[in-house]
Amino acid sequence: MLVLHDNLGSGNAYKVRLLLSQLGRPFRRIEYDVTKAETRTDEFLARNPDGRIPLLEFPDGRLLAQSNAILFYLAQDTDYLPKDAFAQAQVLQWMFFEQYSHEPYIAVARYWLHFLDPGQVQKEQLEEKWRRGHQALAVMEKRLGGAGFLVDGGYSIADIALYAYTHVADEAEMELSPYPGIRRWLDRVAEQPGHVLITQDDFS
């Protein structure tokens, strides 16, 4: 069986739980407490030198890190990845956008506000995260104001990748009311067959 080295609070790990659920692929979770550096032990670093979850372990021992690389691999030849090469490139374009221009701001602001003690958060740094996070949301809104999903052809792993932290933007104390296209898209993603919540921890 697939083993997901996981953390329930992580949006990056949630992406993988969501796609595996929608694909109907059974998996076993191993939970790591990131705040206790459980992904920086010698044992974990031997599996992933980058020291991060999610990490997917295959029955034959192969390992794959980086949430969006895992999504791309699992989605091969399924309805969650368009067949056309240019559409696949557009999926990757959105997923690289997510890791570069979205996650470092919205996910980090959420981590600070939702998982750390208030005293550990610096106001000036938080405001910079919010500012850049809203820039990313504005880019998404330009697309989603006039389209059902991020890439033509329907729901794909691009939507999963960007849904993960966008749908918990409130935990980063970021308001989505200026983005009606994004809000409609969040509902649309949540209505997809096999959808699971970020908090779901039982996949047996």
Query: Which of 65, 113, 121, 196 is the binder for a second copy (CB under 8 A)?
Result: 65
Site string for a second copy, 139-158 (x = CB under 8 A): x--xx---------------
Does residue 62 belong to the site contacting a second copy (CB under 8 A)? Answer: yes
Within the chain, residue ranges assigned H as helices are: 11-23, 42-47, 67-75, 85-97, 103-115, 123-144, 157-166, 180-190
Per the DSSP assignment, residues forming a β-bridge with 3 are 28, 57
Residue 60 has which token pair?
A: 């034959």
Stretch that binds a second copy, among 98-106, 163-171, 180-188, 190-198 (CB under 8 A): 98-106
Q: Quick check: 69 binds a second copy (CB under 8 A)?
A: yes
Q: Check residue 1 for interaction with a second copy (CB under 8 A).
A: no
Q: To the nearest 10°, the Cα dihedral for 155, 158, 159, 164? A: 150
Q: Which is nearer to a second copy, 94 or 155 (CB)?
A: 94
Q: Is 104 in the site for a second copy (CB under 8 A)?
A: yes
Per-residue contact string for residues 21-60; x = within reach of a second copy by CB under 8 A: ----------------------------xx----------
